[in-house]
Amino acid sequence: MLTMDDVLLPPPGIGEVIDFRAMFGDNRPIEMEIGAGKGGFLLNRARALPDTGFLGIEWANKICRYAADRMVRWGVTNVRLMRADAGHLVAHSLPAECVTILHIYHPDPWPKKRHHKRRLIQPGFIAAAVNVLVPGGRIAIQTDHADYFEQIRQVVAGEPRLIEVPFDVPEAGVQEGRVSTNYEIKYLREGREIYQLAVMKQP
Ligand SMILES: C[S@@+](CC[C@H](N)C(=O)[O-])C[C@H]1O[C@@H](n2cnc3c(N)ncnc32)[C@H](O)[C@@H]1O
């Protein structure tokens, strides 16, 4: 029977690199979600794509445990969660070219100008993220925050290895089996606009 220890894994130590083959027992494609929150997106996408391995990174301990507990209750065997800082983990603890899709939905917008430096999506993070994507791999980003979206567009445009692809076509592999995230549901109910961007690493 699936337990919390199967799903909620300790983050890698200093100098350690995640071995996805050991994690899932085979060479399946790997998708990651950064800031997985309560795990609604991961739960549903992982159930729709049982042959893909999913790693969710979430900084908030309680929320991360909540998401892991959901996977256990639903018996979802192809998701692993780690409580870690995604910026650090992507830069230091992943092998090159291992991720097919990196999902980033509603990253914390840090709306005050003096806090903008805390935003996840900065040039250094995007460069590290592209390093871990397989050729042809994609990053899907969604936010309800117009100002942060503008910054995201600029950062992404400054990374020469990325080309923009439509967010919602099946060939982009982003919409297939896509389900809403918890924040997306909440914001759509409030009538907020949602901004989406998908980019592909040049094959
Ligand atoms: C606004 S919520 C969105 C949650 C989910 N993606 C959704 O759309 O429902 C942002 C989440 O990202 C997490 N987070 C923020 N910075 C992070 C970081 N550096 N590493 C991992 N998780 C982070 C927060 O704890 C929070 O749960």
CA of 59 to the centre of ligand 1 (A): 7
Pocket test for ligand 1, best of 38, 103, 108 (most atoms within 8 A of CB): 108
How many domains is the chain built from? Answer: 1
State yes or no: is 168 an active-site residue.
Answer: no
Ligand 1 atom at minimal distance to the Cα of residue 109: 1
Does 127 score more than 80 pLDDT? yes
- With respect to residue 41, please indicate whether it lies within any of the assigned structural domains: yes
- With respect to residue 78, please indicate whether it lies within any of the assigned structural domains: yes
What's the mean pLDDT in 108-122? Answer: 93
- With respect to residue 9, please indicate whether it lies within any of the assigned structural domains: no
- With respect to residue 197, please indicate whether it lies within any of the assigned structural domains: yes
Q: What is the pLDDT of residue 172?
A: 67
- With respect to residue 63, please indicate whether it lies within any of the assigned structural domains: yes
CA of 56 to the centre of ligand 1 (A): 10
Q: What is the pLDDT of residue 179?
A: 72
Distances (CA, A) of 82 to 6, 42, 61, 134, 164: 11, 13, 9, 21, 29
Residue 160: CATH number of its domain: 3.40.50.150
CA of 181 to the centre of ligand 1 (A): 11
Give the domain extent around 168. 26-201
- With respect to residue 48, please indicate whether it lies within any of the assigned structural domains: yes
Residue type at position 63: I
- With respect to residue 35, please indicate whether it lies within any of the assigned structural domains: yes
Mean model confidence pLDDT for the chain: 94
- With respect to residue 114, please indicate whether it lies within any of the assigned structural domains: yes
State pLDDT tens for residues 134-184.
999 999 999 999 999 999 999 999 999 999 998 876 666 676 666 788 899
Buried b (16+ CB within 10 A) or exposed e, 23-48: ebeeebbbbbbbbbbbbbbbbbbbbe
Ligand 1 atom at minimal distance to the Cα of residue 57: 21
State pLDDT tens for residues 99-111.
999 999 999 999 8
The set of protein residues with a Cβ atom below 6 angstroms from ligand 1 is 34-35, 37, 57-60, 63, 85-87, 105-106, 108, 120, 181-184
